[in-house]
Structure 1
Amino acid sequence: LQNDHFLQLLITDDVETAITMMSVLHSILRVNSSVLLQVDEETLHSVLDELVYKLSSTTNPVIGNAATKLLLLVAKFCKQLVKLLTARYKGLKQLLSTQWMGKGFDRDLSQLLDLLYLEQSSGKGEMQRQHQAACIIQAMWRGFQARKRLKKLPQAVTTLQRSFRAKREQELQHLKKQKEDEALKLQMQHQRQRAMRFFHERQLALLEIIHASQINKYMEEMEGKSALTIQRFWRGYRARRNFHQQKQSLKEYKAAVVIQRAACKFLEKRRRRRLLSPWKDPKGLTDEQRLALQQKVDDYIKLHPASQMSEEMSKELHMQAQEKLAQFLLRSRLDQRAVQRREALLAQVNTDVELLMNAPGLGKTTEKDLDVFMSRSIPVATKARQSHNTMLKYTHWPWWKKLGDEFMEDDVIPDDALNAELGTLFIGGRK
C-alpha cells in the first residue's frame, strides 16, 4: 500500500485498471483487515480520498459498486475509520443516497449508510451530553455569581449613599461659594461707588475753596494728569500685548525648529537605509560582450603603459597618504568637538531664554522664583555681586564722567571694562 506505483495505478482514469486495483485492495483487506491502520496517515488519506473521488466523479456502476464494497469493508473492520469518514467527508452520506441508489448494489450501499448514520447518531449523543454538562456548569457559575453579588449588595448600597452625600455636599459648597462671590462682587461695587462719590465730593469742595481766577488753571492741570494716566495705561497695555505676541511667535518658531529637526532626521535615516540596501548581483555578460570588453582593456593598456615606480617613491607616497589621513582625523575630531560645544551653547541659550520668558512679574515673584536665578557656587555669587555693585556705582556717576576718556579719573572704570563685567548673565547657577 505504501508503494507509489500502487497509488498511481489506483488514481488512473482507466476503468479496467481502477477496477483491478480496487479488487486487489479488497482482497488485501479480507486477508488482513488492520493493514490500513499500519500505514502512515498520508497514505491512508490518499486511498480514502481516491475512493470518495471515484464515487463523486463517475456514474459507472461497476466503479461505484467496487468503491462502495471497499468502503463497507473498511467500515466493518475498523470503527476508527468510520469516524474518519464521517468527520473528513461531510457530504458522503448525501452523495451515496442521491447518486447511487437503484444502481444494482443497494444492499451494500444501505449497510454503509447505516454504519455512517449510526456513527453520526453516537456523535450527536456525545455532543448532547457535553451540552448538558456545559449547561450545568454555567448554571452553577451563574448561581455563584448571583450569591456573590447579594453578599456585596449592602456594601454597594453604603458606597452609593456615601457618594450621593459627597455629591450633594459638593453641590452645596459650590452654591455657597457662588453666593459668597456674588456678595463680594456686590460689596466691591458699592465700595467703588462710595469711593467715586467721595472723590467727586472732595473735588467739588476743592473747587469751592479755589479762587475763581485759578479754576481754569486747576482744570488744565487735572486734564493733563488725566491724559498722562490714560497714556500710561495705554502704553502698558500695548507693551504687554506686544510681549505676548512675541512670546507666541517665539513658541511657534521653536515648534517649527523642532518639526524641521525631526523631518531632517527622518530623511537622513531614509537616505541611509537606501544606501544600505541589499546587494544586487549585476547581470552577467555574454561571450561577445566579454570579448569586446577584453579587447578594449588590451587596447587601453597598449596605449597607456603603466609607469614603473621605485620603492622609495612608493614609501614616500605612503607616508604622504598617512600624513593626510592623520590630518583629516585630527581635523574631524576638532570639528566634532566644536559642534558639541556649539550644541551645548545653544542648549544653554535656549534654557536661559525659557527661564526669562517664563519668569513671573515683579508683583508675583516669590522666594522660590528667585532661587532659579541664584547660584550655589560661592565664586560665581561673588562675581555676580561685584558686577552688580559695579553697575550701581556706574549709574550713580555724574554725567560729565561719562563723556569721554579725557574727563576720566584714575578710579573711574572704563566702559570696556564695565561691559566686560556686565557682559555675562548669571541664570540658574551658570555663567
Structure 2
Amino acid sequence: MWVFVFLNYQAVPVRMEQVEKDRDLVSELKRQVENEGLNLEQKINLLNSGLNKCLNMAAVQTDGSVLTRVKSQLYESGVLNHCVLILALDPRRLRGNWSAAATLAQVTSSCCVGVDPGEQSKAFHRLFLPSVMDGLLSLASQLTRQAECLSLFRKVMDSVSWLLRTHTQLIAQVLSSVHYEQIQLCDDSTVSLICVQLWIQSCTTSRDFLSGLSDDFVLLLLNEAVGQLAVSSDSAVGGASVRLILLMSSQLGLRLHPLLLSFRGLDSLLDKDWRGHGFDKDVDQLITLIQSDKGTSHSQVGTEHERAACVIQAAWRSYQTRRRVKSLNRAVSTLQRRYRARRRQQQHQKEAQQWEEELRYQVCVRRQRARREFHQKQRHLLQLLLPDQVQSYLQECERHAAVVIQSFWRGFRERRRYNDTRQRTLRRTQTQQQAARVLQRAVRHFLQKCRAAKRPPFTQFWIGQKGLTDSRRVELKRQVEEYITVHPSSRVSPEECERLHEEVQLLLLTELQRGEQRRREEQRREALLAHTRTQLEMLRDAPPLSAVTVTDAESFLTPSGPIAAHARDAHNATLQASRLPWWRTLGKTVDVFSPTHLQELEAELGGLYVGGSPDTLRWTE
C-alpha cells in the first residue's frame, strides 16, 4: 500500500513536467513558423520537422493520452492552421516543393485524427476539418498534372483516406468537391485506380461507412464506379470498381437496388467487356445482383397497373387507327411526294458529290502529272550537265526561287502599303471637306444673323395692307373724303396735295431702292472678306512644296474658267512687270482685281464665289 502511494506521488510531477515540456515545444514551433523572414520552402521544412518531432516524442510515451494532448495543443495553438494555409496556396508557389507539401499533407492528416478539440469542437468539425480536406484535395488535383508525382499523389490520397475513416461526415464534401471532379477527369489509369481504392479501403475499414450518406451522394459514388467500368480498359481499375459496387451493396442492402436500376445496360456491359480479366466471380455476382433487382421490380407491379396500362394502350391504338383511316389518302400522297422529293435530292447530292470527287481527282492527277514531268525534266537536265556544273545549276535554281518569293512578297507589301496610304489620304480628304462644310455653314449662318440684325424694320406705306377687304376700303375712302370736305385746306388745293403725295411716294421708293442696293453691296463686301479669310487660312496652313499632293494642289484651284483665265493673265502681267527696269514701273501699279472688273465678273457669273476645296464650292446669289 505504501509503495502504491509512493509511485502515484512520483508520477504526478513527472506528468506535469511532460505537459509543460510539450507545451513549450509547441509554443517554440509556433514562434518559429510565425517568423516573417522565412520563405515558403523553409516554412514547409520547419513544419514537417517540428510536427514529426512532436508526434514522435508523444508516440514513445506509454500513456496513450499524451499523443491526443499534443495534437490538441497543435490545433489550439494555430500551428495546424498554418499547415492548411500552405496546402491551399497557389500551385505556382508550390512548384518545386511537391515532395515536402505531400509530407506536410500526410502529417497534417495524422494530427487531425485523434484530436480532442474540447470546447472548440463545433468549429473544429464544421470549419477546420472541411478546410483541411479542401487543401488535401487541391494538392492532389495539382499532383495529377505532374507526370512524375504519382507516388506523391498516392501519399496524399492515403492521407485523405485516413482522414475519412475517422471523420465520415467529410464524405459528402469529397464527393461534391470541385478538386475531386478534376481528379476524376484525369485520363491516367493509376489515378483512377487510386481513387477507387480510396473508397474500397474506407468501406472495408467501417461497416457503417456509407449509412450516413444521402441517396444523392451514394448515386455520385456509384456513378464514379460505373463510369470507370464504361470508360477504362484497365483490368485493375475494372476489378476495383466491381468490388466497390459489391461492398456498397453489402453495406446499403435494399437501398442500393433502385439506384442500380437507373444504370441501364450495366449487366450487358459487364458481360461483354469485363469477362476474362481475372475477376469473373465478382462480375457474375454483380450481374446476378442487377438481374435479381430487375426481376423483383417487375414482380412488384400489381395487376391493377397492368389493367390500366392495357386500357390506355387500347384507347390510344383505337384513336390512332381512326385518325389513320381518315387521313389515309392524304398521308399516302404526302408520303409519296416527300419520298420522291427526297429521292431526287439524294440523287442530285450524289451526282454533285460524284462531280466534285471527279474534279478533285482530275486536279490531283494533273498536279501529279505536272510534278512528274517537272521532275523528269529536271533529271534530264541534270543528266545533260557536266558534274562540275550541277552545283552551280542547283544554286541558280535556288536563286531563281528566292527571287520569285521575294518578288511576290515585295508586291504584296507594296500593295498593302499603297492601300494604307490611299485610305489615309481619303480619310484626310474627307476630314478636310467636312471641316470646310462646317466652317462655311457657320459663316453663312453668322452672316445671315448679322444682316438680319442690321436690316431696318420694313413697313408698308401704302393703304392696301394685307387683310383689308373691299368694303372696308370703300368705307375708309368715304370717311377721308368726308373729312376733307368738312375741313378744307386754306393753303393747298386738292390737286397740289395729290401732286405732293405722288412726289413723296417717288422719293420713298427711291430711298428704299438705295437701301436695298447698299445692303447688297454690304453683303458682297462681307462675302469677299469671308472668302479672303478662308483663302488666307488655307495659304497659312498649306503644306510645303516638297510634301504637297495633287489633292492639296486642287484645293487652291477654282472651277470657274473666267476667274482662272483672269488669274493667269494677272500672274503673267505681274511676272512681266517684275522683269521691267525699275524706272519703267515708277508711278504705275498693276491693278489685278479692280472694282470695275469685279463688278463685270459678278454680272457675268450671276453670283458671288465663296472659297473652299473643289468638292465644297458654292455660289451664293
Task: Using structure 2 for the length normalisation, give the TM-score.
Answer: 0.21
Structure number with greater CO (CA < 8 Å, separation at least 6) is 1
Task: Using structure 1 for the length normalisation, give the TM-score.
Answer: 0.30
